[in-house]
A and B are shown apart, each in its own frame.
Chain A
Amino acid sequence: MTASAVATLKTQRRPLYPGWFYAPAAVVYSVLFLAPTFASLYFSLTRWTLFDATFIGFDNFAQFFREPFLIQGLVNTVIYAVITSGLKVVIGMLLAVMLTSQIMARGYLRSVIFFPVLVSTIGVGMTFTVLMHPTMGMINQTLAMIGIKGPGWLVDPKLALFSVALVDVWKGVGLATVIYIAGLVAIPKDYYEAARIDGATKLQNFFYVTLPLSRPATATVITLSFIGGLRTFDLIWAMTKGGPGFASDTVASVIYKQYQAGFYGLSTAGNVVLFILIAVLVVPLTMVLNRKQGHE
Chain B
Amino acid sequence: MAGLELKNIQKTYGQVEVIKGVNLKVEDGEFVVFVGPSGCGKSTLLRMIAGLEDITGGELYIGDKLCNDVEPRDRSIAMVFQSYALYPHMTVYDNVGFGLKLAKTPKDVRDQKIREAARILKMEHLLDRKPGQLSGGQRQRVAIGRAIVRQPEVFLFDEPLSNLDAALRVDTRMEIAKLHADLGATMIYVTHDQVEAMTLADKIVVLDAGVVQQVGSPIELYQRPANLFVAGFIGSPKMNFAPVKVDAIDADGVTVSGQDVINLRLPIRTSGVNVGDALTLGVRPHDLAIAASGTIIGRVTLTERLGNETIVNVELPSGASWLAVLAGDHILNRGESLSFHAETSKAVVFDKNGQSLVS
Contacts and interface: CB of A to CB of B under 8 A. Distances in A.
Interface string A259-296: 00000000000000000000000000000000001111
B72 A196 contact: yes
B333 to A, nearest CB: 38
A24 interface: no
A198 B132 contact: no
Nearest to B95: A194
Nearest to A190: B85
A193 B86 CA distance: 11
Contact of B102 (A190, A199, A293): A199
Interface in B49-75: 50-52, 71-73
Interface residues of B, number: 27
Nearest to A295: B88
B70 to A, nearest CB: 12
A208 B132 contact: no
A191 interface: yes
Interface string B183-211: 00000000000000000000000000000
A213 to B, nearest CB: 7
A208 B85 contact: no
B73 A193 contact: no
Contact of A197 (B79, B129, B133): B79
Contact of A294 (B52, B79, B81, B130): B130
A215 to B, nearest CB: 8
Interface residues of A, number: 21
B226 interface: no
B83 interface: yes
A212 B71 CA distance: 25
B81 A208 contact: no
Contacts of A204: 102
B125 interface: no
A209 B83 contact: no
Contact of A296 (B71, B73, B81, B131): B131
B139 to A, nearest CB: 8
Contacts of B71: 196
A199 B99 contact: yes
Interface string B75-95: 001110101011111000000
A147 interface: no
B103 interface: yes
Given A204-B102, A294-B130, A295-B132, A197 B72 contact: yes
A126 interface: no
Nearest to A293: B89
Nearest to A215: B89
Contacts of B229: none
Contacts of B86: 296
Given A294-B133, A296-B132, A199 B85 contact: no
Contact of B89 (A188, A199, A212): A212
Contacts of B81: 190, 193-194
A200 interface: yes
A235 B127 CA distance: 51
Given A204-B102, A296-B132, A198 B85 contact: no
Given A196-B73, A197-B50, A188 B83 contact: yes
B75 to A, nearest CB: 8
B340 interface: no
A3 to B, nearest CB: 38
10 contacts: A190-B83, A193-B52, A193-B85, A196-B72, A197-B51, A197-B77, A198-B73, A199-B99, A293-B89, A295-B89
Q: Lowest 7 A-B CB distances belong to which pairs?
A: A294-B130, A199-B73, A198-B99, A190-B85, A194-B85, A212-B89, A294-B132
